[in-house]
A and B are shown apart, each in its own frame.
Chain A
């Protein structure tokens, strides 16, 4: 009798933690952190993060799921939160809203303890664009080139590191902003 069962008529407000397996058919408002497997039945309603070895979900969860072995979302599962496990299964009829990550067991274990963000490996297919970001800055050079104040020179450099090829012509609007900011900072300091 190593399996803990939270039956349908039971409501836990608080944390559940420890060894052994856990089956929830009732309601839990709080953290679930067990070493064994966790099964959330169709009638389960969990508000809180759930972590265990292998999570099988058929019920509703508002919180992050973290399985050190696997997470299986079956028909009836409604998950609002991030899902992380080395092995992930999403069945037909399961609903998920959140970030899903299948990471190596090595990477996920230390992370799974706290609310982790360290080993992020965001959907590679989704956004391979980040490399393109540094390019955009140059398009600002406003044609009005006047008032070469020394302050402007100071203000201009910040954007420069991203794109070095434009030292002299400071942009007028940027100048004003920079100058104001500089003044404010000085005033504040």
Chain B
């Protein structure tokens, strides 16, 4: 499959660009651009500007998130940063601090 997986224990510092799905369980510092679905798994630490088609967050994210389609902040997920997306869900048990910008 063409899914890029960043396993726990791995750290990327810099820019990560993907045309396909991206799964992050490790650490990323920098910038993430994904033209497909981005999944930040539980235990992952992301300190980056995120731009993706679709984002699911169950880990810790610090940085602004821009999604063309949607952002799902799942239980256990933590997000500090602004969100701009067409749709946003925040599950019970998730923590979030930041502004939301949706097309109204």
Contact = CB atoms under 8 A, between A and B. Distances in A.
A9 B12 contact: no
Interface stretch (A12-20, A85-93, A94-102, A175-183): A12-20
B77 interface: no
Given A4-B6, A7-B2, A10-B4, A16 B19 contact: no
Given A9-B19, A10-B18, A26 B9 contact: no
B5 A14 contact: no
A6 B20 CA distance: 10
A3 interface: yes
Main secondary structure of the interface of A (DSSP, over half): strand
Given A5-B4, A26-B4, A12 B10 contact: no
B101 interface: no
A9 B35 CA distance: 10
A10 B6 CA distance: 11
Contacts of A46: none
Contact of A19 (B6, B10, B30): B10
B67 interface: no
B71 interface: no
Given A14-B13, A14-B30, A6 B4 contact: yes
B68 to A, nearest CB: 17
B16 A10 contact: yes
The listed residue with most B CB atoms (<10 A of its CB), out of A3, A12, A13, is: A12
Interface residues of A, number: 25
B99 interface: no
B22 interface: yes
Interface in A1-41: 1-22, 26, 30, 34
A10 B25 contact: no
Nearest to A25: B2
A1 B7 contact: yes
Contacts of A26: 4, 18
26 contacts: A1-B5, A2-B7, A2-B8, A4-B5, A5-B4, A7-B1, A7-B20, A8-B2, A10-B17, A10-B18, A11-B15, A12-B15, A12-B16, A12-B17, A13-B15, A13-B16, A13-B17, A14-B15, A15-B13, A16-B10, A16-B12, A18-B11, A19-B10, A20-B7, A26-B4, A26-B18
Given A9-B19, A13-B14, A26-B4, 10 more contacts: A1-B7, A5-B4, A8-B20, A11-B15, A13-B15, A13-B16, A16-B10, A17-B10, A19-B9, A30-B14
